[in-house]
Amino acid sequence: MMSERIVVKIGSSSLTSEEGGLNRERIQYFAEELASLHKNGSGVMLVTSGAVAAGFRQIGYASKPKIVHEKQAAAAVGQALLMQAYQEAFSRFGIVAAQILLTRADFSNRRRIQNALMTIEELLRQRIIPIINENDTVATDELVLKFGDNDNLSALVAAMTKAAKLVIITDMDGLYTEDPRKNPQAVKIERVDQISEDIMKLAGGAGSSVGTGGMRSKIEAARIAMRGGVHAFIGKVQQEGDLALAVEGNGRGTYFDTKLHSLPMKKQWLGFHSMPQGRITVDDGAVSALLEGGKSLLPAGVTDIQGEFHPGDVVEVANRQGETLGRGVVNYAAWQIQAVAGLTTEEVRRRVDVARIEVIHRDEWITLK
C-alpha cells in the first residue's frame, strides 16, 4: 500500500446535512481518515462534492436551488466554505490542501488537461493533498458538462494520474441484486470483474435529496476506472479505520477489479475526454481488423460517414448494426472519405491527396467495445 496513489471521492450527502450547510464533524472525520493514508506514504487525492449544498443556505435560499444560475451562485459561496473547512481539518495533521476546479471542457482540451495533470503531479511530489471539484460556477451546459455528482470526475482523475485505487464513498455498503431497503432478501455483490448490462440494470436512480449521483453513475465511474487500469471500490466509510480497510481490500462495499493496464494519456484523452466530430461506419472486415487484428482503418473498409470533420478531428467508428466500436483521430476530411470509401489503397492514392493513407492509424485509435 505504501506510496501508491489513491483517489477518494466523497459526495454531497456525506458532507452536508439534509437541510444544507456543512457537517463539520464529518469533514473532520474524513480528513482524519485521509491523513492516515497520507501518513502511510500514499499519494492521496480527494474528489469532493458539496459546494452547492454548502452555499445555498448562506445565500438565503430556502432549499437547494434547481435553476442553473442560482446553483452556480450557491457553488461560488459554498466552494470557499468547503475549502476553508477542509484546510482547517487537514491543518490539524500538518497537511496542506490545494484546490483544483475542473470542467468537462478542460478534459476535452489535450493541452489543458496535460497542464492540470502536471499541477497535480507537483502537488503530490510536495506531499500536498489536491482537493478536486467540478467548477460549477463556469460550467456552461449542465447536461453536457456535468460529471454526475463528481463520480465520473473521480474516475477520470484516477485514470489520468495512474492511481492504483479509486474509493467512491456512498451511503450504501456496496452493490446489491435488489434495493436492500425494499427487499431484505437482496444479496450483496462482493466483487465485479466485468461491468455487463445486467450489472448496470441493478443500479437504480439517484439516492438522497442533497446529492445528484445514484448508484448508476458510480458504476459508470467504476467502468471508466477499470478501462483506465484502476481498481475501484464503492461502499461505506463511516467509522474509524474504514478508509484504510477499503483500500486494503476489506472494506464494506463492492470491489471492481480489472486486468487492464493503465492507458497512456493520449489514449485516455481519445477514449474518455475527446468530443467526436463525426461518425464512420465500417464493414465486417474492418471490424475484425480494428478489434482483433490491431490494424489501422483503411478506406476500403468504410461504408458510410456522418458529420462534417477535418484531418486531426476525433471521430467515432461503428459497425453496420450501429454499435460504437471506438474512436480515433481521422486523417481525412469528410468529403475526402466520401470520395474514396470502399476503394483500394492504389485507387485512393490516384483520387485524393492525403498525408497518410490510413483513415485512422492504429496508434491514434482506442477500442471502446
Binding site residue list for ATP: 9, 170-171, 212-218
Q: Which residues pair with 192 in a beta bridge?
A: 256
Query: Which residues have C-beta within 8 Å of that of residue 45, sequence separation ≥ 6?
Result: 5, 6, 7, 8, 120, 124, 129, 130, 132, 157, 158, 161, 163
Look at the chain and count its residues: 369
Q: Pick out the residues of the known binding site for substrate.
A: 49, 136, 150
Composition of the chain by helix, strand, coil, percent to 5 = 40, 20, 40
| Sheet architecture: strand order including 314-318 | 302-306, 279-282, 314-318, 324-330, 360-367
Buried-state track 111-128, b at ≥16 Cβ within 10 A, e below 16? eebeebeeebeebbeeeb
Among candidate residues 233, 216, 53, the one with its CA nearest the CA of residue 148: 216
Annotated binding site, which residues?
A: 9, 49, 136, 150, 170-171, 212-218
